[in-house]
Amino acid sequence: MALVISVIVCAHNEAQHVAACLHSLLAQSRIPDELLVINNASTDSTRAVAAEIPRVRVVDEPRKGLVVARETGRQAATGDVLVYVDADCRAPLMWLERIERHLLDDPSLIALSGPYRFYDWDWWGRLLIRAYDYTLAPATQLLVKYVLRIGTIFYGGNFAVRREALERIGGFDTTIEFHGEDTNVGRRLFATGRVALFHDCYLYTSARRYIAMGKGAVFRLYVRNFTSELLRGRPKDTTHIDVRI
């Protein structure tokens, strides 16, 4: 049975990055059935850049907020599978084909996520993140998903979810400001069905947060919000630094 796939790109002031993201999505071996850009209260030319690209539908969301934009995308999309991508990401040629294959091979799979690789980071940063992907991340996943059974690793800029599963949990929690939103939706989906992490569904993304804030600061930021969301049901941080460059 064929899947109808909507790819949703949430973008606030992403004029410098959104075109490369969209062109990578339209160059896929499996083209999206629907490609949406949620123009989230942008004050730059994000909307104009996205609107110039064929097969892209722009949806304006004047309320600023990443999670608000994700929820707007859920309500605007028509596919039975919703795929979320951040505007600074670039998709490898077979990325969407691999996502679809995993979902078709396992009808019990309600959502999946893939890790990041970085196209603009130094060699040391890229080495660190690959080491994390194959050492600390599997250990963390073993603990939180299979031992404690309280949630899962879930990457907010790279995930796919069956529409009915997202509807079943009430969509996105728009009271979350920014950090921890991915862990939140992953945890809630995990409580209702099978959620998986696949290394072959990786995306390239920008390391701009690491570059702007420093590796240590960002690692600590992610760890404390991941831990707080899983243990307390809420992220620790209620504000975030805008690092768009």
Task: Check which CATH number belongs to the domain holding 187 and give it.
Answer: 3.90.550.10
| 8-29 average pLDDT score | 98
Q: What is the pTM of this model?
A: 0.97
Flag whether 241 is in a domain: no
pLDDT in tens, 93-143: 999 999 999 999 999 999 999 999 999 999 999 999 999 999 999 999 999
Q: How many domains does the chain have?
A: 1
Q: Per residue in 141-196, pLDDT tens?
A: 999 999 999 999 999 999 999 999 999 999 999 999 999 999 999 999 999 999 99
Residue 217: inside a domain, yes or no? yes
Does residue 48 carry a pLDDT above 70? yes
Q: Give a yes or no: residue 139 inside a domain.
A: yes
Does residue 92 lie in a domain region? yes
- Domain interval for residue 104: 5-232
Task: Write out the chain in H/E/C secondary structure.
Answer: CCCCEEEEEEECCCCCCHHHHHHHHHCCCCCCCEEEEEEECCCCCHHHHHHCCCCEEEEEECCCCHHHHHHHHHHHCCCCEEEEEECCCECCCCHHHHHHHHHHHCCCEEEEECCEEECCCCHHHHHHHHHHHHCHHHHHHHHHHHHCCCCCCCCCCEEEEEHHHHHHCCCCCCCCCCCCHHHHHHHHHHCCCEEEECHHHCEEECCHHHHHHCHHHHHHHHHHHHHHHHHHCCCCCCCCCCCCC
In a domain, 225, yes or no: yes
Q: Which pLDDT score, from 0 to 100, does residue 244 have?
A: 76
Q: What is the pLDDT of residue 245?
A: 55
With bands split at pLDDT 50, 70 and 90, how would you rate the model's confidence at 2? confident
